[in-house]
Chain A
Amino acid sequence: MIYLDNAATTLPKPPSVTAAVNRALLTMSSPGRGVYAPAMRASNVLLDCRIAAAELFHVPEPEQVIFTFNATHALNLAIRTLAAPDSHVLISGFEHNAVTRPLHALGCEVRVVGRRIFDPVDTLAAFREAIDWANLVVCTHVSNVFGYILPIDEIAHLCGQKNIPLILDCSQSAGMLDLDFASLGAEFAAMPGHKGLLGPQGTGLLLCKDSAMPLLYGGTGSDSLSQEMPPYLPDRLEAGTHNMPGIAGLLAGIRAVQSHGTNRILAHEKQLLSIMLDRLNTVPMLELFSDGGRNQSGVLSLCCRGLDSETLAAALGEQGICVRGGLHCAPCAHESAETAPDGTVRFSPSPFTTEEQIIAACDALLRIVS
């Protein structure tokens, strides 16, 4: 089996992640519910994980690192804080349903800008042209479908100049691209723990300033006489029992990323992309979505003439190649690339994917299309 659906969830995880999850299940209770040993073991892991994430993403204080169940949960928290039914929200042409559905549910007026793929100059120009209309910007760092790296530094700078709050969706970039939360000045950055950060499913992070409003209300182990949520972070946003096995695994995953280095991880994945492009770009039946890696992560989406994406993904699956076909929960991105409604087949490597695996996946694809 060759697993190339790491943009959905990375697999395998480092052995240290598995060990940490196991250790948490065996030795930890709930953090913040007492000062006895199993509770404090959990509390210490919780703080260690906040500190590790704060270091990795340059967040001023560990309290600004909030644990969520996934990136969708984190994005909902951010969007519910900053958006209202009458909000004018500017989004890129590469957003996931985790962004567009919460905005739709709130009844916001949404304008999609920057539809040209792999063209950061056009993307920035489109944001600049529309920014005065907006009172909120939500933008993905990297397209989950195409691996397009959007110019978030410049978009954040533009938002800062206009004093428009910015929510970043770092679902595909966290653990692979550098992110300096403090310098960017974004109001929120949301990310999953189970993708590039190599943690378990059921984990996510929200990096925030201090404006965040709760999405869940309940027990926090603090200020219990009050029926209001505690006014301070992280307690204000973390009601209920934490996912301690998940967070312990996430801490191990973040440490693995720190040990590898995001630059090395990105270089490795780009190298794998380049191998795929070399082997596939002369096949007339295939349409590859790539700019050669200039503004692209290691993700490669493709279409095959005469074969819909789900059928091709299933055929690859029968040969042990695990990839994702269809719309990848991002119809907006497919509309931008004119690949809707059929979608694409997406190949997404991880730090542990080898060149041999990529070559074998290409060979399998070539056998099918020929």
Chain B
Amino acid sequence: MSQHLILCRSLTTAQRAQRLLERSGIVSSVVKAPQELTGAGCGYSLSLYRHFEEADAILQRSNIATGKRFVLMEDGRFRELNHDIPR
């Protein structure tokens, strides 16, 4: 079970995304995004440990504008998920 982060442009977006996933039975939590991932200071993200791909698909289908996806690696760094890992 790896931690996944879904960046959100605002707290409101993060909350809406969390509630949307909750309605599908997917547990996630709103957390402050690590500074090195936002590049802008003070951002929010959704953190989840299970059902990432399902969550990703639900959010892609929704009108909630979420941002980049990251997975926490064993070395403690976050790696962006893009073309090499299917969403």
Contact = CB atoms under 8 A, between A and B. Distances in A.
Contacts of B41: 223-226
A224 B15 contact: no
Task: Name the prevailing secondary structure of the A interface residues.
Answer: loop
A230 B31 contact: no
Contacts of B9: 222, 230, 232
Contact of B63 (A34, A44, A61, A232): A61
B16 A62 contact: yes
A225 B40 contact: yes
B31 A35 contact: yes
A31 interface: yes
B42 interface: yes
A230 B9 CA distance: 9
Interface string A220-262: 0111111000101011000000000000000000000000000
B34 interface: no
Contact of A223 (B13, B31, B40, B63): B40
A35 B15 CA distance: 11
B42 A223 contact: yes
Contacts of A40: 30
Contacts of A223: 40-43
Contact of A224 (B10, B13, B42, B44): B42
**Which of the four size classes fits the interface of chain B?**
10 to 19
Contact of A35 (B10, B12, B19, B32): B32
Task: Name the prevailing secondary structure of the B interface residues.
Answer: mixed
B15 A43 contact: yes
A63 B32 contact: no
Contact of B30 (A35, A46, A234): A35
A194 B29 CA distance: 33
Contact of B11 (A61, A62, A222, A225): A222
Interface in B7-23: 9-13, 15-16, 19
A239 to B, nearest CB: 13
A50 B12 contact: yes
A32 interface: yes
Interface string B36-80: 000111111000000000000000000100000000000000000
Contacts of A230: 9-10
B12 A47 contact: yes
**Pairs of residues from A and B, 7 with the lowest C-beta to C-beta distance, nearest first:** A225-B41, A224-B41, A224-B42, A223-B40, A47-B15, A32-B11, A235-B10
Given A44-B15, A62-B12, A222-B44, 20 more contacts: A31-B11, A32-B11, A34-B32, A35-B29, A35-B30, A35-B31, A35-B44, A46-B12, A47-B12, A62-B16, A221-B42, A222-B10, A223-B41, A225-B39, A225-B40, A225-B41, A230-B9, A234-B10, A234-B12, A235-B12
Interface of B: 9-13, 15-16, 19, 29-32, 39-44, 63
11 contacts: A32-B11, A43-B15, A63-B13, A221-B11, A222-B10, A224-B42, A226-B40, A226-B41, A230-B9, A234-B10, A234-B12
